């Protein structure tokens, strides 16, 4: 697709200056061969956005977009979580950048963001959809120029990206400490050097009140026993991450962070909701357990106070909803000024995982990226995209060197998982 488009553009330019039919044909063929051997270093001046089409899976919680152009080159992007019911928002944003050059990614991002100033462009669904479109623009530009996205972002610090495996133990009803240990050992046997477990259990029989956010003594005991089992199963050299999904209060956050100190966690994620950085600081100042947050923050603005007041030890923006790849790099660079590691949240497909990898490769303070056990267990995640090589190897994602992101949407594979009653790439 991309090679053909580049051929079309440059051959057209070459033909315009040819003197004779014979010379014209020979020159065009030579130029085509040169283009096959050498990536373009400049973009076609007449490349324009013609349309944005989209499809949804996971009951609308995963949005995939394709940004199309007049030269047959397209870019792919993905957003998660803040996406149900956003089809018309995709189409609104498409109209705002139609007929513009896709090469000015940051400018188009600002065009869309500022146009939505009174439409919710500070966070939430607006930024979620914008994240998918912005990502697709980077993919498109990389394909047009013959460069991987990390190169467009300034180059890479690393060739592979370490990931932690979210083991999915939360899918069991009232999982036991032993089941946590078994899940951890399985992940380590698969080659992962870091694992993550969720300890918020809404159906815990030890919970006294479904609406009160303070964990009971029985809940606290259950939480500790589960992660203690993980530590015993994997030994002292494997990193353990623990997620509380923002379901508790400061009192519980402090107690859990403190009681986990002997288990030497890599981080404790979102013990309380996202909205109050000052409350996060109270927890962080009470413990040696590293505190991590950012999954539910949007744009670099959303991370400013967290960093300014020292509310967290690690930030974890979700690049599929925090603003996209350029904004993800800005968030990482901002956190680097405070010497805070960058460990993105990631619950997307392999398209989103690799898109995140390009950002993680481009910044110095990358720590680790989230990886999901569903990539190994659910066929859908291999069917909805196309890519080269293994997804993950020995706990690392090999960074793609292909133009753009290096992962494509497979519409045919995705179609059978499409959200019911929603337009599908129309």
| Dist CA 423 CA 56 (whole Å) | 8
Residue 218 tokens read as 């029985």
CB 34 within 8 A of CB 9: no
User: Closest Cα to residue 57, out of 375, 424, 346, 426?
Assistant: 424
Instruction: Break the chain down into helix, strand, coil percent, rounded to 5.
Output: 45, 15, 40
Burial label, 148 (beta-carbon count in 10 A; 0-12, 13-18, 19+): buried
What's the mean pLDDT in 296-310?
98
pLDDT of residue 256: 98
Query: What are the backbone angles phi and psi of residue 215, rounded to the nearest 5°?
Result: -70, 140
Residue 302 tokens read as 């959303």
Q: Average pLDDT, whole number, for the chain?
A: 91
The DSSP annotation for 213-275 comes to -PPPHHHHHHHHHHHHHHHHHH-TTSEEEEE-TT-S-HHHHHHHHHHTGGG--SEEE-SS-TT
What's the mean pLDDT in 374-397?
96
The dihedral over CA atoms of 105, 108, 114, 116, expressed in degrees to the nearest 10, equals -110
Report CA-CA distances (Å) from 374 to 66, 180, 299. Answer: 24, 17, 28
| Neighbour tally for 235: CB within 10 Å | 9
Helices and strands in the chain, H and E counts:
16, 13
Per-residue pLDDT for 43 more than 70? no
Residue 247 tokens read as 């379901």
Q: 80-94, 170-184, 242-256 — which is least confidently predicted?
A: 170-184
Burial label, 207 (beta-carbon count in 10 A; 0-12, 13-18, 19+): middle
Span 142-197, pLDDT tens digits: 999 999 999 999 999 999 999 999 998 767 777 899 999 999 999 999 999 999 99
Confidence of residue 34 (pLDDT cuts 50, 70, 90): very low
**Residue carrying structure tokens 């919680």:** 61
pLDDT of residue 183: 96
What percent of the chain lies above the pLDDT cut of 70? 89
Per-residue pLDDT for 13 more than 90? no
Burial label, 412 (beta-carbon count in 10 A; 0-12, 13-18, 19+): exposed
CA 286 to chain centre: 31
Span 278-289, pLDDT tens digits: 999 999 999 999
User: Closest Cα to residue 408, out of 361, 352, 364, 360?
Assistant: 352
Span 317-368, pLDDT tens digits: 999 999 999 999 999 999 999 999 999 999 999 999 999 999 999 999 999 9
Residue 233 tokens read as 């199963």
Confidence of residue 36 (pLDDT cuts 50, 70, 90): low
Per-residue pLDDT for 23 more than 50? no
| Dist CA 164 CA 357 (whole Å) | 13
For 263-365, where are the E strands, in sequence order? 267-269, 291-293, 314-315
Residue 354 tokens read as 């690799």
Per-residue pLDDT for 210 more than 70? yes
Span 48-80, pLDDT tens digits: 999 999 999 999 999 999 999 999 999 999 999
| pLDDT top residue among 65 and 40 | 65
Per-residue pLDDT for 37 more than 70? no
Taking the alpha carbons of 263, 377, 245, 282 in that order, is the dihedral positive or negative?
positive
| Dist CA 335 CA 337 (whole Å) | 5
Per-residue pLDDT for 9 more than 70? no
Per-residue pLDDT for 24 more than 80? no
pLDDT of residue 28: 45
194-198 and 239-243 beta bridge pairing: parallel
């Amino acid at each position: 697709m991309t090679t053909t488009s580049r051929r079309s553009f440059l051959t057209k330019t070459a033909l315009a200056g040819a003197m004779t039919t014979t010379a014209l044909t020979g020159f065009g063929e030579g130029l085509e061969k040169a283009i096959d051997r050498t990536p373009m270093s400049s973009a076609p001046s007449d490349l324009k956005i013609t349309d944005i089409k989209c499809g949804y899976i996971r009951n609308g919680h995963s949005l995939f977009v394709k940004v199309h152009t007049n030269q047959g080159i397209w870019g792919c992007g993905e957003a998660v979580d803040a996406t149900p019911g956003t089809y018309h928002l995709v189409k609104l944003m498409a109209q705002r950048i139609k007929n513009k050059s896709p090469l000015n990614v940051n400018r188009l991002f600002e065009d869309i963001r500022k146009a939505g100033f009174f439409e919710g462009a500070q966070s939430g669904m607006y930024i979620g959809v914008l994240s998918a479109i912005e990502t697709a623009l980077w993919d498109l530009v990389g394909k047009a120029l013959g460069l991987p996205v990390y190169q467009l972002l300034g180059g890479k610090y690393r060739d592979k990206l370490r990931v932690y495996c979210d083991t999915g133990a939360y899918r069991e009803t009232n999982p036991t400490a032993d089941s946590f240990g078994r899940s951890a050992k399985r992940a380590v046997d698969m080659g992962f050097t870091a694992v993550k477990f969720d300890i918020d259990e809404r159906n815990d029989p030890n919970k006294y009140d479904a609406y009160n956010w303070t964990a009971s003594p029985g809940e606290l005991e259950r939480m500790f026993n589960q992660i203690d089992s993980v530590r015993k199963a994997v030994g002292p050299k494997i990193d353990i991450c623990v997620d509380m999904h923002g379901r508790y209060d400061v009192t519980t956050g402090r107690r859990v962070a403190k009681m986990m100190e002997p288990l030497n966690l890599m981080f404790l994620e979102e013990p309380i909701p996202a909205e109050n950085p000052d409350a996060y600081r109270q927890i962080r100042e009470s413990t040696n357990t590293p505190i991590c947050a950012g999954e539910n923050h949007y744009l670099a603005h959303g991370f400013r106070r967290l960093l300014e007041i020292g509310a967290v030890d690690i930030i974890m923006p979700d690049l599929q909803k925090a603003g996209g790849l350029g904004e993800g790099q800005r968030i990482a660079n901002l956190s680097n000024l405070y010497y805070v590691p960058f460990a993105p949240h990631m619950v997307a497909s392999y398209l989103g995982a690799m898109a995140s990898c390009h950002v993680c490769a481009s910044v110095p303070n990358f720590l680790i990226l989230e990886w999901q056990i569903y990539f190994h267990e659910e066929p859908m995640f291999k069917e909805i995209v196309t890519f080269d090589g293994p997804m993950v190897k020995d706990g690392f994602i090999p960074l793609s060197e292909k133009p753009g992101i290096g992962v494509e949407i497979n519409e045919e594979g995705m179609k059978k998982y499409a959200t019911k009653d929603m337009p599908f790439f129309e």
